[in-house]
Structure 1
Amino acid sequence: MPKEPTAVTEPQQPPAPPPVNFANYQNEIYLHGLEGRVPPFTTEATALGASARGHLDAGAFGYVAGSAGSGATHRANREAFDRCRLVPRMLTDATHRDLRTRVLGTTMPAPVLLAPLGAQSIVHPDGELATARAAASLGLTMTLSTASSYTVEQVAEASGAGPRWFQLYWPNDDDVCVSILERARRAGFTTLVVTLDTWTLAWRPHDLDQSYLPFIRGVGTAIPFSDPAFRAGLERSPEEDLEAAVLRWVPMFTGTDKSWDRLPFLRRHWDGPIVLKGIQHPDDARRAAEAGMEGIVVSNHGGRQLDGAMASLDALPGIVRAVERTGTDTEVLFDSGIRTGADVLKALALGARAVLVGRPFAYGLAHGGEDGVRHVLRSLLADLDLTLGLSGHRTPAELTPDDLWHRP
């Protein structure tokens, strides 16, 4: 088992920092050109996947890039963004922008968080550690997956004072669940993100055709395999008998759907904000708000779970209206399909408080570890900053549905 660090730095909550001119990354790149230097890999977000393919074996690439079934949901996500267009305004004094956004009571430098993405060591040996360092260097919030290649303590140590959330794949064993939650809180993870749409794996041809699933190989299992409550149920440790540990892991983390009346269990064992991820229906959004959840993430898991589902962007307006009608303070976040700065603006204009980005930073990780993640994130933030100004706005809060045109 990996050696546990002896101390973990709690993320700090200092006074809100001044706004960052993220657009300067564009100038930095052009100035490097005078020295004969070009970016380490493409700045075109929609080309990152094709570029990353050459850095990964077929199994790893298929796992990251693949979708459920025919890929219809994944395609729908991108098609929804293409149908939705920004309508720019002129002479709005948008020279200076301020991307700072308050999410669940915390001021963030931009309305962008890193989505939970498991088994990152299949993409790069440093996996979640590299991602945590890159996110922290930019002040962005990383959401650590339960299916991490490294323990919560190791990722917290890599993150340092950086903001961090913890994503839960809800175990069927309550003792293991409580133990993992307690570890995450001790390690300074402030918000719990509960993924609802992956209680069992979808039919994923990309993975099936390669007979590839990281978890049955013991990859992406560092958190449960290092957990004392999980290990207590084994006759021998995962280091001694990997197959037995995997066979205990599989039925504990997959195959059983939960119900709404189980949410109080999480509230009893987590004293910070709770966000439900995977909401696509307005009635589910309403139930989450009425159950006292601090946030929801409108998400279809990037098209990786339910084939033939509606695009998350198409679901967003109805969900925002449903939450507003509850009169609660539940915040709506967005995930699934974000690639460009324009994508971020469209989601914000439709009512999302912030967005989560997933595959793009994974492709950056494949290209260059920590530096690759940082390059992708800086590119996205620069694109967002510039596009916000060119659309005629100075802050994300100025965006409304009136700034969009929808193609039939």
Structure 2
Amino acid sequence: MVGEQDALRQQDGRPDPPLRPSPHYDLYHRSIFKAGSYGSLPPFSTEYQIVPRMLVPTLTRDISTTLFRHHIAVSICFAPIGVNGIYHPDGELIVAKVAGEPGLQYCLSTASSRAVEDVAAVNGAWEIGRRADSTRSIMTVDTDHLAWRHGDMAEANYAFYYGIGNEMGWSGSVFRKYLEGKGIDPETDPQSAGRPWIDTVWHGKAHSWADLPRVIRLWKDISEMQSARDAILAKEHWCDGIVVSNHARWQVHGAVGSLEVLPEIVDAVGGIYRTGADVFKALALGARAVLVGRLWIFDLSIQGEHGVGHFDMLMDVAGYWCLGEVDRAALRVRGLPML
């Protein structure tokens, strides 16, 4: 089956990695159903075309924005991606460091392969995240259990059972005490420690809107929204913000692309991206900021600040000096009148 996945990778035009640091290396090279299905995301983005403006003084550009009443220097953020330890032994520590240098906002995944206290960034478990000086907490609502992922099962690609991506729980005093009661040492027996943590995080019990009021004090934002009706409900439940995302199509096979539903969600509640142009288009359609995901995991965000440079340069050559001018008039849909 490994050979079959390699063949699919080559068929999709992706280079074969020269060395795989772990058997789980292929995790972020595919989506839910088959290798390469993530490649179906960008084409819709190409339907939106940027309308350049000329003779605009863009020597000084402003790519800052206001998010949750906080001014941030750059409108590009790091999306939460877990188990970074698959790609580098230092995992999330490298990403958090690189994100901090150009002033990017970084969101730490619950499936972190390093302890939240070490990363000292955004979100962990509720109380832990608050103690670690995170400024926001984002509740992912589509992953009470993991979806049926053919490629992962074919390659036994389930890092958590191998002790990768469980450090969020292992660093917490409550879960450590639970493990001690079971006679499990996560350092010497990561597989035995991984199983109860999996049952804690992916518990298989679907959340409901009725659950939200009791956690909204800490979980101010909701991730993985793709419905305008859900966005309205989130606003009615006093959520500060929502993340429009399909979880890289890891959970719902055949889910609609985020850029396709973004305009209707923005229209309902007020205001997949891999390049500066994608970020520009999302902001033009009404997003306040854009979380860039899979792109940075491929090289663990080494020189990740150049992604910001691409967006900044695009604003320059396209004739937009600040984000206030990047709205729907800056785009047109291929073959249709301007938005």
TM-score by length of 2: 0.88
Supply the RMSD in Å over aligned alpha carbons: 2.0
1:288 matched to which residue of 2?
234
Taking the aligned partners of 1:73 and 1:294, their CA distance within structure 2 comes to: 32
| SS of residue paired to 2:82 | coil
1:242 aligns with 2:197: no
Inter-partner Cα distance in structure 1 for 2:189 and 2:18 = 34
Equivalent residue in structure 2 for 1:78, among 38, 42, 45: 42
Look up the match of 1:261.
210
CA distance in 1, matches of 2:29, 2:227: 25
* Aligned partner (choices 134, 144, 157) of residue 189 of structure 1: 134
Tell me if 1:275 matches 2:221. yes
Q: Which runs of 5+ in 1 are unaligned?
A: 1-48, 157-163, 169-179, 325-331, 366-372
Task: Could you tell me which runs of 5 or more consecutive residues in structure 2 were left unpaired when the two chains were aligned.
Answer: 1-12
Q: Shift of the alpha carbon at 1:132?
A: 0.8
Structure-2 change in CA distance of 1:131 and 1:106 (3 Å) = same
Alignment of 1:42-61 (within 5 A): 50=14, 53-57=17-21, 59-61=23-25
Pick closer, same or farther for the CA change 1:379–1:55 going to 2, 3 Å: farther
Give, as a single letter, the amino acid of the residue that structure 2 aligns with 1:120: N
Q: Any conservation in 2 of the 1:71–1:303 contact (CA below 8 Å)? A: no
1:143 aligned onto 2:107: yes
Q: Using the alignment, how far apart are the partners of 1:354 and 1:207 within structure 2?
A: 31
Residues 275, 55 of structure 1: alpha-carbon distance in 2 compared, 3 angstrom cutoff = farther
> Which one-letter code corresponds to 2:152 in the other structure?
D
Letter in 2 for 1:245: A
Alignment deviations for residues 219-268 of structure 1 (CA, whole Å, 9 cap, x no partner) = 10001122222233331233354344222122221122111111122224
Aligned partners of 2:215 and 2:20: how far apart in 1? Answer: 37
Count residues in correspondence: 319
1:113 is paired with a residue whose SS is strand
Q: Distance in 2 between matches of 1:58 and 1:126?
A: 14
Deviation digits for residues 349-370 of structure 1, max 9, x if unmatched? 00000100111211122xxxxx
* Kept in 2: contact 1:279–1:300 (CA 8 A): yes
Which of 143, 151, 158 lines up with 1:198 in the alignment?
A: 143
Q: Secondary structure at the match of 1:338?
A: coil
CA displacement, residues 189-245 of structure 1 (integer Å, 9 cap, x when unaligned) = 110011112222122233222111110111100011222222333312333543442
Assess if the C-alpha contact under 8 Å between 1:71 and 1:307 holds in 2.
Answer: no
Q: d(CA) in 2 for partners of 1:93 and 1:55?
A: 47
Q: Partners of 2:152 and 2:223 in 1: how far apart?
A: 23
2:313 — aligned with what? 386
Normalising to structure 1: TM-score of the pair? 0.74
> Is 1:396–2:323 an aligned residue pair?
yes
Of residues 30, 54, 66 in structure 2, which corresponds to 1:90? 54
Match of 1:343 in 2: 278
Residues 277 and 296, structure 1, Cα contact 8 Å, conserved in 2? yes
Deviations 1:85-106 (A, max 9, x none): 1111111222221111111122
Which residue in the other structure is 2:81 paired with?
A: 117
Residue 312 (str. 1) matches residue 269 (str. 2)? no
Distance 2:16 2:308 in 1: 20
Structure 2 CA distance for partners of 1:212 and 1:146, relative to 1, 3 Å: same
- 1:380 and 1:209 map into 2 onto residues whose CA distance is 34
Residues 22, 86 of structure 2: 8 Å contact kept: no
